[in-house]
Structure formats: structure tokens, C-alpha cells
């Protein structure tokens, strides 16, 4: 999973100038303040989700407790009334009949309470499963924000990304690597960027259709498209499938 994430970054929609002066400006913009803004926005989103979950859970639990308490009190009241009435009338048969009827009603109310408790448990399980998907979406949104900022402000990170993909591909006679134009200046010295790899086999091409932080690697056996859109969908699908198998 970590290798997939390392190989993909989110596309930034603003235009980037590769001049040296602009490079310095971009690096200055990626400050502690930028990171703090992302943190604050993320924290707010998480707090809102947690508050919503707590409020709904407390409401359902309170309703269930009040209903159960009401049913029990109702049964006890009816039992005492029947018992008192039968006793006052002085009829043993009526008294016994009243006792049995009250006991039956209390048993029925107790069963209703159990059903209510089971329904509450089912609701909680379903609610937490639904929110597990929301949390996954939130985490991936946070990752996109952070990676989106990092890959545009520090385009030199492409070296690590490409190396990770090349390691996964293995041996091949000739390899063409397509990357976004903003990354080409940082691949001018591949022998330094990719130590341990035979760089005579590799050719780098500028491809505007490739999103920043991604790459397309072409070999004689086929190609590997390591772009964020496809990879994020795969990550999201895998995480959600895993969450569906977790017992709550």
C-alpha cells in the first residue's frame, strides 16, 4: 500500500513556471503557515463528523432507554391495578386470573424491550459502517490536499516517485518514462537520481497529459500508468471493502 501511495500525487490545477526565481517563491510558500491551515481545516472536518455521530448515537440511546423504562413502568402499574382489584373483590379465581394476566403482559413488555435493544444494536452497527466510509473519504481528501501542495511546490520529488515505479517493474531492455513537464528539469541527471539502476536503458519524455506527481512507464512488455486518479480509486475501493469485513 505504501508503495502505491508514494507513486501517486494529486494534480494541482494552477499553472507553474519553472524559472529559478519562481522555484524559490514556491518553496517559500510551503511554510509552517500552509501546513497549519491544512491541519486546521482537517481538524474542523473531523470534529464535525465526530459531533454528528455522537449526537445521533445519544439520541437513539436516550429514546431506547426512555421507551424501555416506560414499558416496564406500564407493566408494573397494570399488574398492581389488577392485583388490587382482584383482591378487593375477594374472588380467588379472579385474583389468580388477574395475576396470570399481569404476568403475561409483563413478559410481553419485556420481550418488546429486548426487540428494541436488538434494533438499536442493528442501527448502531449500520450507522458505524456508513460513517466508516465517510472517514475513509475524509482521510483520502486530506492526503490529496497534502500531496497536492507538496508535489507542485517541490517538483523534485518526482525522482523518488519514478524510482519506486521502476523498482516494481524490474528488468527490461528499453524503458520510456513520461512525466509532466514541470518535472523534466529535475530528471536531467538520472545517474544521480537513480543510483543502482542502469540509466542507459531509460528515456524521459515530457507529457502534459500526465498529471504532476504521476508517470507513465512504457516497456516492450506493456506500460504502467501510475497516475493519481486511477490509484486513488483503487485505494478507496480496497479500504471500503476491508471496512465491510470488520466486525463492529
Contact assessment for residue 95 and residue 87, using Cβ atoms and an 8 Å cutoff:
yes
For residue 120, name the pLDDT band (cuts at 50, 70, 90).
Answer: confident
Q: If pLDDT is split at 50, 70 and 90, which confidence band does 183 have?
A: confident
Question: What does the pLDDT look like over 18-68, one tens digit per residue?
Answer: 444 444 444 444 455 665 666 677 667 767 776 776 777 677 767 777 776
Q: Which of 47-61, 166-180, 187-201 has the highest mean pLDDT?
A: 166-180
Environment class of residue 210 by beta-carbon count within 10 Å: exposed (0-12), middle (13-18) or buried (19+)? buried
Domain span at residue 201 reads 155-240
Residue with cell 543502482: 196
- 37 and 147 housed in the same domain: yes
Closest CA to 187 of 212, 204, 167, 209: 204
Q: Say what percent of the chain tops pLDDT 70.
A: 52
By the 8 A CB rule, do 228 and 8 touch? yes
Digit-coded pLDDT (tens) for 134-164: 777 777 777 766 766 676 777 777 777 787 7
- 42 and 133, same domain (yes or no): yes
Assess whether 137 and 65 both reside in one domain: yes
Q: Which of 153, 186, 208 represents a domain boundary (last residue)?
A: 153
Amino acid at each position: 500500500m505504501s508503495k502505491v501511495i508514494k507513486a501517486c500525487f494529486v494534480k494541482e490545477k494552477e499553472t507553474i513556471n519553472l524559472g529559478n526565481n519562481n522555484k524559490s517563491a514556491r518553496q517559500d510558500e510551503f511554510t509552517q503557515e500552509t501546513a497549519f491551515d491544512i491541519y486546521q481545516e482537517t481538524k474542523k472536518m473531523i470534529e464535525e463528523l465526530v459531533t454528528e455521530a455522537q449526537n445521533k448515537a445519544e439520541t437513539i440511546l436516550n429514546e431506547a432507554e426512555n421507551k424501555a423504562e416506560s414499558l416496564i413502568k406500564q407493566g408494573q402499574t397494570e399488574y398492581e391495578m389488577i392485583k388490587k382489584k382482584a383482591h378487593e373483590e375477594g374472588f380467588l379465581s379472579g385474583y389468580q386470573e388477574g395475576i396470570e394476566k399481569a404476568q403475561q403482559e409483563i413478559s410481553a413488555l419485556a420481550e418488546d424491550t429486548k426487540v428494541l435493544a436488538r434494533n438499536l444494536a442493528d442501527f448502531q452497527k449500520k450507522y458505524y459502517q456508513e460513517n466508516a466510509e465517510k472517514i475513509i473519504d475524509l482521510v483520502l481528501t486530506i492526503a490529496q490536499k497534502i500531496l497536492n501542495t507538496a508535489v507542485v511546490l517541490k517538483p523534485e520529488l518526482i525522482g523518488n516517485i519514478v524510482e519506486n515505479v521502476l523498482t516494481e517493474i524490474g528488468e527490461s531492455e528499453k524503458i520510456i518514462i513520461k512525466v509532466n513537464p514541470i518535472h523534466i528539469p529535475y530528471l536531467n541527471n538520472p545517474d544521480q537520481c537513480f543510483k543502482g539502476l542502469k540509466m542507459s536503458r531509460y528515456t524521459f519524455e515530457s507529457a502534459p497529459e500526465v498529471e504532476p506527481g504521476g508517470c507513465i512507464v512504457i516497456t516492450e512488455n506493456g506500460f504502467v500508468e501510475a497516475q493519481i486518479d486511477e490509484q486513488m480509486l483503487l485505494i478507496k475501493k480496497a479500504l471500503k471493502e476491508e471496512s465491510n469485513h470488520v466486525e463492529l
